[in-house]
């Protein structure tokens, strides 16, 4: 696509910072998908950024793997208004 840009990240924290910055700059929609989403410092930063986006009027969609998150504390017990959260459960995890 003309005008497109690709960035290669070699550090997870650099990637997370860029993702959180993009969530903060979103004006219309955020689609967020994560395999494991912990309630640690990084997970809390994502949760806070997604909640702030929803409060700005951005439509926020979150999908995370419920099976992969069985052994870690969840980042949140609920979703803010204007957001949709889905804990994906594959047929293998039922």
Confidence label for 64 from pLDDT (cuts 50, 70 and 90): confident
Beta bridge partners of 44: none
* Beta strands, E only, the chain: 29-34, 59-65, 83-88
Distance CA 91, CA 74 (A): 21
Q: Residue 70 to residues 42, 49, 78, 82, 84: CA-CA distances in angstroms?
A: 18, 23, 16, 26, 20
Q: What is the pLDDT of residues 25-49, one digit of tens each?
A: 999 999 998 887 788 899 889 989 9
| pLDDT(93) > 50 | no
pLDDT band at 86 (very low <50, low <70, confident <90, very high): low
Q: Which two tokens stand for residue 49?
A: 């950024």
Q: Whole-prediction pTM value? A: 0.77
């Amino acid at each position: 696509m003309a005008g497109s840009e690709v960035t290669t990240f070699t550090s997870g924290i650099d990637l997370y910072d860029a993702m959180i910055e993009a969530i903060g700059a979103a004006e219309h929609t955020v689609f967020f998908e994560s395999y494991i989403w912990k309630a640690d410092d990084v997970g809390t930063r994502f949760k806070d950024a997604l909640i702030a986006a929803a409060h700005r009027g951005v439509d926020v969609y979150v999908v995370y793997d419920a099976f992969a998150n069985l052994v870690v504390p969840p980042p949140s017990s609920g979703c803010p208004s204007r957001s949709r959260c889905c804990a994906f459960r594959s047929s293998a995890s039922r």
